[in-house]
């Protein structure tokens, strides 16, 4: 089983998504975060299940699409590091270290 870790940036992204949605509906905010976390949980068993991020073209940088979000992560030996979570309609940020 692969260990899943979150960078501070990715954790901040998740909190920002929650806070934004919660301004209108706390219930929907919780549901959206749970949906994102469930997608990330699959990486424990299937770390390479995401596609290679086209903008980076690196074998170790992959993403899950959980509409409307892109969850970008890096595979590293026996771990997966979630790097960022952002709306798919936005330009992809610069690849953070992690």
Asked whether residue 18 is assigned to any structural domain, the reply reads yes
Q: Is 79 left (phi over 0), alpha (psi -120 to 50) or beta?
A: beta
Q: Confidence band (pLDDT; 50, 70, 90) for 91?
A: confident
CA distance 19 to 51: 28
Domain membership flag for residue 82: yes
Domain contains 66: yes
Segments forming the whole domain that contains residue 16: 3-87
Q: Establish if 98 belongs to a structural domain.
A: no
Radius of gyration of the chain (CA): 13
- What CATH number has the domain bearing residue 66? 3.30.2310.20
Instruction: Compute the average pLDDT of residues 73-97.
Output: 88
pTM equals: 0.92
* Residue 93 lies inside a defined structural domain of this protein: no
pLDDT (tens digit per residue) in 25-79: 999 999 999 999 999 999 999 999 999 999 999 999 999 999 999 999 999 888 9
Does any domain span residue 94?
no
> What pLDDT, on the 0 to 100 scale, is given for residue 97?
63
How many domains does one find in the chain?
Answer: 1
pLDDT at 70: 97
Task: Determine the pLDDT at residue 78.
Answer: 86
In this structure, is residue 97 part of a structural domain? no
- pLDDT greater than 80 at residue 15: yes
**Residue 71, SS3 per DSSP:** strand
Contact 82, 75 (CB under 8 A): no
The answer to whether residue 13 is domain-embedded is yes
């Amino acid at each position: 089983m692969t260990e899943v870790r979150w960078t501070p940036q990715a954790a901040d992204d998740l909190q920002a998504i929650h806070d934004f949605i919660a301004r209108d509906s706390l219930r929907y905010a919780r549901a959206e975060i749970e949906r994102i976390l469930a997608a990330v949980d699959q990486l424990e068993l299937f770390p390479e299940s995401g596609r290679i991020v086209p903008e980076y073209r690196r074998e170790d940088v992959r993403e899950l699409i959980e509409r409307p979000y892109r969850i970008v992560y890096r595979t590293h030996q026996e771990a997966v590091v979630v790097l960022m979570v952002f709306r798919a309609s936005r330009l992809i940020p610069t690849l953070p270290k992690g």
